[in-house]
Amino acid sequence: MENRSVLELLKSTLGENKVLCSLENLYVYGFDATPVYRGKPMAVIRAYSTEDVMKVLTIANDYAIPVVPRGHGTSLTGAVIPVEGGLILDLSPMKRIEVDVENGIVVAEAGATIGEVNAECRKYGFFFPPDPASAEVATVGGALATDAGGMRGARYGTMRNWVLAMKVVVPGGRVLRLGAPVYKWRCGLNLLHLFVGSEGTLGVITEATLKMLPLPEKIVRLLALFETVDEAVTAICSIRRRALNPLILELLDESTIKSVNEVFNLNMPEVGAAVIADVDGPKEAVERLGKEMAEVFEECGAISVRIASDEGEMEKLYAARRGAYPAVSRLYPIVLIEDIVVPLSKLAEAIRRIKELSSKYGVAIVVFGHAGDGNIHPCICMSSRDEESMRLAEKVFYEICRIAIELGGTVSGEHGIGLQKVHALVEELKYRESSWLLEVMREVKKVFDPKGIMNPGKFFMRCRKCWEV
C-alpha cells in the first residue's frame, strides 16, 4: 500500500486529530537533544491510550512501516531520530499518574514526566528515586526505554531498579503485561528488564508500575572546592571507602563551573573542581554525617567546604549541576556528550587521560557527571560545525570510549546507544570477546519484531556513518 493510503487508514482508524502531517510537525519531530542528528518522519501520531498504540502497531506491522516511539525527545544519543522515515509515535499525551500509598507504588502512563511522578509522590510524603538532570521533561516511557539514571544514581542506580511491572505493545498490536505490581516476583524469564533499556527497538511501553520511597526527614547538601580534579576524585573515593553512602555525589571540573557561571550567572568560585554531595536521613543523624563528610573533604585537601544552610542555596547548587549540559551546549555550536562509566578506582586515571586528549588535539573537553558511581559525561566542544571539526570530534569521542573500555568500564551508563554509540558498542563487545552477543540481540528482536519495524537503524544495525553536519 502507498504511504498516502496508509496515512488515510491511520486517520480513519484513530481520528484525524491524532495524525499530524504538516511540514512544521515533520520538521520538529525530526530532532532530539543532540546537535548533529536529524531525520524526517512520514507522519507523527499522538497516542492517547494503549488502544491507540495497539491500532498503530497493527497497521504499521501489516504494511511494514517503521515506528519510532517518542517521549519528549531529550535523548542525547540520536535514539529517537526517524532515520528510516515512518511514524513517530508520540506518547506524551498519556499522562495519568496514580499513587498507591498502601502498596508503596505509583502507576504512571508513559507520557508522564519523572518530575510529575515525583510531584505526585511528594503529596503523600514519598519520592521516586531515579533523578535524571532532565527530570522535568524526560517521560516515564523514555526513561525506562533508555534505563535512565541521574544524580541519585550514586545510591539508587537506574530506572531498572525501580520498575515492578509494565504494559508494552509489540508489533501486531499484542499487549504484554510484564512483571507484577508487587515488590517480589519470580515467574519465568525476566522479560520485564529485557524491555528496560531497549530504546524503542522491541515495543512501546504504555504504562509502568514503579516503586517509591518515603521522603527523607532531612537532606544536607555540601559543596567542596578543590584545586585539582585529582584531589576531588580522591575525596569521592574516600567517601565511598568510608561507607558514607551519599544520596548524590557529583563532580564539576573548572570548565563546567565557568560555563554554568557564564550562562546562568551562578557566581560559583572558579576553582579546579567542585564536588556536590547530599546526605539524608533523620535530623540528628544527618547533621553528624554531613560533618563527617566535610571532614573527609578537608582531609583530602579541599580549599573550602560549605554546608548549604537553606533551600535557596541548596537549589542553587543543584541548578549548577543540572544546568551543566545546557550551559555547555549554549556556548558551543557542537557538543558531543559522552556517558562513560569506569570503576571508581580508575576514575582519576580516566579523567587524566581525557584531559591529555584535550591537549593532544586542541579540543575543549568539559567534564562533569555522577562521579559517585563512576559515571561521567565528558563533553567534546567544537567551535565550528564544519566537516573537519565533526571528524575530529568523532575521533576524540571514540578515543574516550576506548579509554573507558580499556579501564574495565563501559561506553554508556544511562544515555544508551542510539545512533551515536553503535561503533562504540561493537568495540566494547569485541574487547570483551563477546561480539556474538550482538547476534543474540538481533535474534531476540526478531521474536517481538520479526519485520524490524521498531526504531530501525539503531543499535542492531550493521555500522554505518550517521553524522549530519
Burial pattern 2-29, b for ≥16 Cβ within 10 A else e, equals eeeebbebbbeebeeebbbeeeebbeeb
Q: Which of 18, 70, 240, 423 binds ligand FAD (CB under 6 A)?
A: 70
Q: Is the CB of residue 80 less than 8 Å from the CB of residue 103?
A: no
**DSSP string across 60-74:** HHHTT--EEEESS--
Q: Which residue is associated with the grid cell 583530602?
A: 300
Residue 148 in contact with ligand FAD, rule: CB under 6 A:
yes
Quick one: which of 30, 32, 59, 87 contacts ligand FAD (CB under 6 A)? 32
Task: Report the distance separating Cα 102 and Cα 99, nearest Å.
Answer: 9
Residue nearer to ligand FAD on the CB measure, 144 or 296: 144
CA–CA gap between residue 194 and residue 192 (Å, rounded): 5
Residue 286 binds to ligand FAD (criterion: CB under 6 A): no
- Minimum Å gap between C-beta 102 and ligand FAD is 27
Residue 34 near ligand FAD by CB under 6 A: no
**Per-residue contact flags (x/-) with ligand FAD for residues 308 to 327, judged by CB under 6 A:** -----------------xx-
Instruction: Please select the residue that binds ligand FAD; options are 150, 179, 246, 457, rule is CB under 6 A.
Output: 150
Piece of the chain touching ligand FAD by CB under 6 A; list 11-19, 76-84, 298-306, 382-390:
76-84
Nearer to ligand FAD, 272 or 326 (CB): 326
Angle at 365 between CA 315 and CA 461, to 5 degrees: 100
Among 6, 26, 50, 75, binds ligand FAD (CB under 6 A): 75
d(CA 359, CA 363): 7
Query: Out of 50, 61, 118, 134, which residue is the one contacting ligand FAD (CB under 6 A)?
Result: 134
Contact between 278 and ligand FAD by CB under 6 A: the answer reads: no
Give the list of residues 6+ apart from residue 445 with CB closer than 8 angstroms, or none.
201, 202, 452, 454, 460
Among positions 50, 61, 118, 139, the unique one binding ligand FAD when judged by CB under 6 A: 139
Given candidates 221, 415, 421, 423, which one binds ligand FAD under the rule CB under 6 A? Answer: 415
Applying CB under 6 A, does 68 fall inside the site for ligand FAD? Answer: yes
> In sequence order, what DSSP letters do the residues of 231-250 get, joined into one string?
HHHHHHHHHHHTT---SEEE
Tell me which of 205, 251, 276, 411 binds ligand FAD, using CB under 6 A: 205
Site for ligand FAD in 38-67 (CB under 6 A): none
Phi first, then psi, for residue 93 (nearest 5°) are -70, -15
Nearest 5°: the CA angle 46, 48, 50 is 115
- By CB under 6 A, is residue 20 in contact with ligand FAD? no
200 binds ligand FAD (CB under 6 A): yes
List binders of ligand FAD among 321-360 (CB under 6 A): 325-326
Q: What is the CA radius of gyration of the chain?
A: 22
**Residue 277 lies near ligand FAD (rule: CB under 6 A):** no
Q: Which three cell numbers stand for residue 285?
A: 543523624
Q: How many residues does the chain have?
A: 469
Residue number with CB closer to ligand FAD (166 or 286): 166
| Shortest distance, position 336 Cβ to ligand FAD, whole Å | 13
> Virtual CA dihedral for 73, 77, 83, 89, nearest 10 degrees?
-30
- Please tell me whether residue 91 binds ligand FAD under the rule CB under 6 A: yes
Task: Give the binding-site size for ligand FAD (rule: CB under 6 A).
Answer: 37
Q: Is 160 helix (H, G, I), strand (E, B) or coil?
A: helix
Judged by the rule CB under 6 A, the positions of this chain that interact with ligand FAD are 32-33, 68-76, 79-80, 91, 110, 132-134, 138-139, 141-143, 145-146, 148-150, 199-200, 204-205, 325-326, 414-415, 455
